[in-house]
Amino acid sequence: MASSFSIAHVTPYPWEAQENEVNAYVQRVSSELSRRGHRVLVLAPSRSQERVRGSRRELRAARGRPESLLEGTDQGTPRVIAVGEVLDVPSSARRRPSALSIDVARTVEELLTTVELDFVHVHEPFAPSTSNAALRHSRALNVGSFHAPNERLLSTLVARRFVESFFGRLDARTASLPATVELMARHFPGDYRLIGDGDGAVEALEGIYEALAARRHERSGDPALKRRLEKRALIDVDLHMHTDHSHDCATPVEVLLATAHTQGLGAIAVTDHNEISGALEARAQAEEAGVKVIVGEEVKTAGQGEVIGLFIEEKIPRGLSLKETVAEISRQGGLVYVPHPFDRMHSVPDYEHLLTILDDVDAIEVFNPRVAIGAFNEEAARFAAKYRIIAGAGSDSHVAQGLGSVRIRMRDFDSAQEFLQSLRDADILTRPSSLLYVQALKFLQTKATPPAAREASRARRVKRVKRGRRAPGRRGGGR
């Protein structure tokens, strides 16, 4: 075996129900994976109060050192953790998971956000269930296995669109029977690999794990460059903002730079929509303003979302495919930065398209204060964590008042390579802000203001900034 992984297998059925074919399957494959040297946990609900209390004692004892839960689980005996107590279900509904008790999701969330796992392998992850809760909170690579060949009315008919979107978190899907493959592919389209319950099942699963793990990004970067950067000063950086060179922003370049300096930002990335002129203008004024400027562009692709190119020099046309846009960023020696990747309120690449450019993504925006639903930021953070993609953040400011509402504290840099290495060890700092307030300002400064008044306002704002730059004692800190 080439690699050893940490894996959690999750079943929706009470662990005591060993006559259940799913539990029996989980028992067999998890034990064999453990014998092969993988560290394996089994997460399951339980009918036993004593078993649940024992698991909670283990979890409390491991809070200071969560990796201890995996110790000894690579010698043929996986650790079974009872994540909560459930009631028995009627015998006529043996295939249906037991109702999810109120504390199960909380226990699953605590475990999956503290124990570092390579894979969370969920079985029958339909809601409400332990498997579904695990898929919701996992920060690892996710494999979903489907066993039952019969219709599930609540999932396949009533909530089909939601379930289909939720299953997008699965990085691989397997099915035990040809009938299950046909059923799942019909209701929830995807690539289902048929893996039976006989000989060879574990080897097939290991092959899936190996292939998925190979897609993760390398963690440490350049050790020599990291040591060199450790001697640099820490600066605050905002990686996503707009000027009036964007169609939906009225902030002049001069005002943006002055505000960034006032906010204590050492560097900013100017990322206008489908335009690079504002970023180039900002860079030309950077030294006088005392702020370092990264030239960027937020490019709208042909129906596959937006992507930002950082450290570029030429405008990239909108309307190219996602792959073509990424290729053009790379051709210029730039960095591929994916903004608000799962915000359904923006034009975003879905899982399917994002996975096609996974190897070329340099960083991903895991926090954007203009994302109205926090779960979308959380989904971006989970995606970055499981594929080990470098995390970034930016205010996505369209008004000067929003600038620096999120910032990255990182070592100073002088090139794209130094920037990327520094970003690996950066801290993302957020502060409370009102999305309604900045959105209202954006509306007032753009759509609610007539063009003539907008131009007059722009002239006044630029004049004030230039007067401030000429004032005695003004010093530029940029390079």
Question: Which value, to the nearest 10 degrees, does the dihedral of the CA atoms of residues 435, 385, 76, 172 take?
Answer: 90
In whole angstroms, what is the distance from residue 16 CA to residue 236 CA?
53
Query: Which pairing describes strands 79-85 and 119-123: parallel, antiparallel, or unpaired?
Result: unpaired
Per-residue pLDDT at 61? 92
What pLDDT score was predicted for residue 152? 56
| Distance (Å, whole) CA 383 – CA 377 | 10
pLDDT the model gives residue 187 = 84
Q: Please provide the distance, in angstroms rounded to a whole number, between the alpha carbons at the two ends of the chain.
A: 51
Predicted TM-score (pTM) of the model is: 0.81
DSSP state letter for 359: G
Alpha-carbon distance 342 to 354, whole Å?
Answer: 10
* 3-class state of residue 444 by DSSP: helix
Report residues of the chain scoring pLDDT below 50: 1, 89-95, 153-154, 156, 437-438, 443, 475-479
180-223 pLDDT, tens per residue? 999 888 888 889 999 988 889 999 999 999 999 999 998 888 99
Q: Nearest to residue 108, comparing CAs of 24, 211, 8, 222?
A: 8
Query: What pLDDT sits at residue 346?
Result: 62
Residue 8 phi, psi dihedral angles, 5° rounding: -115, 120
Pairing of strands 141-146, 172-175: parallel
Residue 424 C-beta-side C-alpha neighbours within 13 Å: 20
Per-residue confidence (pLDDT) for residue 471, from 0 to 100:
67
